[in-house]
Amino acid sequence: MDGKRSRHHRVVILGGGTAGLTVAARLLRAKVDDVAVVEPSEEHYYQPLWTLVGGGLASAGSSVRRTASVMPRGVSWIRDSAVGVDPDERAVLLASGNELSYDQLVVAPGIQLDWDKVQGLPESLGNGRVSSNYRFDLAPRTWDALRRLRSGTALFTMPPGAIKCAGAPQKIAYIASDFWERNGVLRRIRVVLVLPGAAVFGVPEFAKPLEKVIERYGIEVRYQSEVTAIDGEKGVATLRSLSDPSAPAEELEFDFAHVVPPQSAPDWVKASPLSDAANPAGYVEVDRETMAHMRWSNIFSLGDAGSTPNSKTGAAVRKQAPVVVANLLAQMRGEPPAKFYNGYASCPLVTAHNRCIMAEFDYVPKPTPTFPVLNMQRERYDMYLVKRYGLPLMYWNFMLRGLA
Ligand SMILES: Cc1cc2nc3c(=O)[nH]c(=O)nc-3n(C[C@H](O)[C@H](O)[C@H](O)COP(=O)(O)OP(=O)(O)OC[C@H]3O[C@@H](n4cnc5c(N)ncnc54)[C@H](O)[C@@H]3O)c2cc1C
């Protein structure tokens, strides 16, 4: 191979985000000696804090650490990006042109934010009127804009299709409304929340208390709708009905818009044989319980890039990682899968600066509370403390070290 380098590792992990590093740390604890992580970024983010950053409840700096400081010791960190996988040859092609070969592969490059699927959005972002907590650099701008708004229309949008943290598009609407209420300006602000579904949340047990929150703040919800275009300069959004495609598009004027982009698997995953050809979102096609690939049993995927139909969250990764590791180790020993994932995910629905509904549920979806003695179907102060302080602490100190 001219100029190209080819290296072999026993386990190769694509992506050193929440999923990749949690799996790597657990493999090292299990004494697997040759683990490589392909990760291009010098920074590692705890993204769940970005909602609080956008709401002025946490600093952006507390959501980021140097990748070098969180990479488990003993892992070979390959500072490169995967651009293709040949599962029959057990080979990964990297952006540098180098190749890796593996015995077992874990695919965890996260989800792709398709900003350009909303017309006018890329050029509007960060202009003072349009922001999104889905980017580290923009989350603080959300807070700047929320703080400045004293009257007018505030628009919050959620796109159709799977996204990471499906609660995040509405959480920021509640945190903002709470802030405006405490500052005596909420009655002068029309708050519009655009949702693709017919309900505010997919699990009825949590939808009910959320409806009360919406009523309390006087939020106008546009169900079964999506925003297809944003004109950040004029402050106009184009809304389309998802239930009646023949209905004329509506133009809605806004003074501030928090926009969440449509999302899908990274383009290189979509184009690879690993993806689910029947699903245009293109996620890595794995068994929903064993997390092993449907066609190549030595390949696993978890986190946002996997096809499992759970809510895409770091909380889901916390339960998926032990399953991936147990089944990978079982395979090394020539044994059948040892652990099964039940679809657990959690969405801490922050509803005010001191309140949170801790939604935990599985594939069914039925509630699966970690603290069954507490009533989790209401807004709670203790769960806000868990979200704000407990979970970040758990993430940096336990999850990324393979201990939780
Ligand atoms: C605003 C917001 C709020 C959220 N709130 C919550 C919450 O309250 N609770 C919760 O549990 N979850 C929440 N999440 C979701 C959570 O952050 C993700 O579900 C989780 O990070 C998924 O882990 P992952 O490893 O699959 O992806 P990521 O953590 O995104 O990691 C993917 C990694 O892959 C790397 N990568 C990308 N492309 C390549 C490539 N080609 N080759 C190699 N590496 C690559 C990236 O650099 C990145 O480090 C939130 C997310 C956002 C954006």
pLDDT digits (tens, 9 = 90+) for 157-198: 999 999 999 999 999 999 999 999 999 999 999 999 999 999
**CA 169 to CA 399: how far, in whole Å?**
25
Range with the lowest mean pLDDT among 38-42, 99-103, 250-254, 371-375?
371-375
**CA 104 to CA 138: how far, in whole Å?**
37
Mutate to test the pocket of ligand 1, among 165, 291, 341, 360 (most ligand atoms within 8 A of CB): 165
Q: What is the average pLDDT across 47-58?
A: 98
Which domains, from first to last, does the chain contain?
6-111+265-341 (3.50.50.60), 114-263 (3.50.50.60)
Please pick, among 347, 357, 391, 399, the residue that the annotation labels catalytic: 347
Q: How far is the CA of 247 from the centre of ligand 1 (A)?
A: 36
Q: What is the average pLDDT across 382-390?
A: 98
| Amino acid residing at 86 | D
Q: How far is the CA of 366 from the centre of ligand 1 (A)?
A: 24
Counting from 1 in the atom list of ligand 1, the atom nearest the Cα of 315 is 11
Q: What is the pLDDT of residue 3?
A: 60
pLDDT digits (tens, 9 = 90+) for 276-296: 888 889 999 999 999 999 999
**Is pLDDT of 218 > 70?**
yes
The helix (H) or strand (E) run that includes residue 191 is: strand 189-194
pLDDT digits (tens, 9 = 90+) for 230-262: 999 999 999 999 999 999 999 999 999 999 999
**Is pLDDT of 2 > 60?**
no
Counting from 1 in the atom list of ligand 1, the atom nearest the Cα of 345 is 11
* Residue % of the chain over a pLDDT of 90: 97
186-203 in b/e burial notation, b at 16+ Cβ within 10 A?
Answer: beebbbbbbbbeebbbeb
Beta strands 256-258 and 130-131 are parallel
Please pick, among 23, 165, 286, 329, the residue that the annotation labels catalytic: 165
Q: How far is the CA of 355 from the centre of ligand 1 (A)?
A: 25
**Is pLDDT of 15 > 70?**
yes
Q: What is the average pLDDT across 80-108?
A: 98
* Residue % of the chain over a pLDDT of 70: 99
Look up the pTM and report it. 0.97
Mean predicted lDDT score pLDDT of the chain:
97
Q: What is the pLDDT of residue 1?
A: 42
Q: What is the average pLDDT across 34-44?
A: 98
347 is catalytic: yes
Angle, alpha carbons 320-196-192 (nearest 5°): 115
Assess contact for 57 and 388: CB atoms under 8 A.
Answer: yes
**CA 357 to CA 109: how far, in whole Å?**
29
Read off the pLDDT band of 4 (50, 70, 90). confident
Residues in the ligand 1 pocket, defined by CB under 6 Å: 14-20, 38-41, 47-48, 50-51, 81-82, 108-110, 133-134, 164-165, 168, 266, 303-305, 312-315, 317, 346, 348
Q: How far is the CA of 47 from the centre of ligand 1 (A)?
A: 7
Q: What is the pLDDT of residue 280?
A: 85
Assess contact for 199 and 207: CB atoms under 8 A.
Answer: yes
Phi, then psi, of 342 in degrees rounded to 5? -105, 10
Read off the pLDDT band of 5 (50, 70, 90). confident
Q: What is the average pLDDT across 78-104?
A: 98
**CA 343 to CA 327: how far, in whole Å?**
16
